[in-house]
């Protein structure tokens, strides 16, 4: 591990390979060489892709090469931190004028997930993103969204426009009846406060579905 930590110290984290970054995350100290063997097994389990590491899940991950629960939790926490940083970076000074803008901002966050998440983008009148917020997390096929929470946050931000975004791990972007019903509920609730649901976009493995483009949001 010392050669990796020396590399980190002298050249910065951006100089480390994927395997080295994971090893630093897992190492308990600079002499902890077991972290390298654990990392190799972890990446093997993930098919060599960092994108699939999170999908392994805590229970399976902690059994890999004797990793243990604490180290597995560190990996999952690091993955979630990376996702949240991506959301924050994507939202800074971004403007939403079409479903393509929504996909550009949110696909890096949702595209590789193995379970559903629903996010809300709160927009100014100009289309500038005021905030992007995860409003629910669910299973493989569905997630439950609290409509009141969506509207309450919009009121707190004084956001006149809202965009809902969620993913379909199945790979099909076609909306379910639940998706359609949610869109109708949020749209009607927004109108009560002179706000507008601008769109609801479903992201699914390189494809997407826009309710606005299909005239399901006015």
To the question of domain 94-210 being in CATH 3.30.360.10, the answer is no
> pLDDT tens digits, residue range 162-183?
999 999 998 999 999 999 999 9
Q: Decide if pLDDT at 39 tops 90.
A: no
* Per-residue tokens: 185: 């509920």
Closest alpha carbon to 129 in 156, 179, 163, 180:
163
> Is the pLDDT higher at 178 or at 52?
178
| Sequence ranges of the domains in the chain | 2-85, 94-210
How far apart CA 129 and CA 94 sit, in angstroms, is 6
Residue 21 reports pLDDT greater than 90: no
What is residue 188's predicted lDDT score, i.e. its pLDDT? Answer: 95
Average pLDDT, the chain: 86
Residue with tokens 């390979």: 17
Tokens in use for 86? 């991506």
> What is the pLDDT at residue 30?
66
- Angstrom distances, CA of residue 11 to CA of 7, 16, 49, 50, 149: 6, 8, 24, 22, 44
pLDDT of 94 reads 79
The label of the residue with tokens 């020396």 reads 6
Predicted pLDDT at 127: 94
- Range with the lowest mean pLDDT among 78-82, 122-126, 186-190? 78-82
pLDDT, residue 92, reads 60
| pLDDT score of 91 | 61
Q: What pLDDT does 142 receive?
A: 55
CA 105 to chain centroid, in Å, comes to: 10
| pLDDT of res. 214 | 95
Q: Flag the least confident range among 12-16, 78-82, 93-97, 173-177.
A: 12-16
Under 8 Å between Cβ of 129 and 105: yes
pLDDT score of 154? 96
């Amino acid at each position: 591990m010392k050669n990796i930590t020396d590399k980190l110290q002298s050249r910065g984290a951006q100089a480390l390979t994927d395997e080295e970054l994971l090893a630093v995350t897992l190492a308990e100290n600079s002499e902890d060489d077991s972290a390298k063997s654990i990392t190799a097994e972890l990446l093997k389990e993930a098919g060599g892709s960092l994108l699939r590491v999170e999908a392994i899940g805590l229970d399976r991950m902690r059994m890999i090469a004797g990793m243990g629960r604490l180290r597995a939790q560190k990996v999952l926490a690091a993955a979630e931190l990376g996702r949240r940083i991506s959301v924050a970076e994507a939202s800074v000074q971004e403007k939403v004028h079409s479903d393509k803008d929504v996909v550009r901002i949110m696909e890096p966050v949702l595209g590789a997930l193995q379970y559903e998440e629903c996010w809300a983008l709160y927009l100014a009148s100009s289309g500038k993103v005021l905030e992007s917020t995860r409003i629910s997390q669910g299973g493989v096929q569905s997630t439950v969204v609290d409509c009141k929470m969506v509207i309450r946050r919009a009121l707190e931000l004084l956001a006149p426009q809202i965009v809902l975004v969620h993913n379909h791990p199945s790979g099909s972007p076609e909306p379910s009846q639940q998706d359609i019903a949610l869109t109708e509920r949020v749209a009607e609730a927004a109108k009560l406060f002179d706000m507008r649901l601008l769109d609801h976009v479903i992201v699914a493995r390189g494809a997407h579905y826009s309710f606005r483009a299909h005239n399901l949001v006015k």
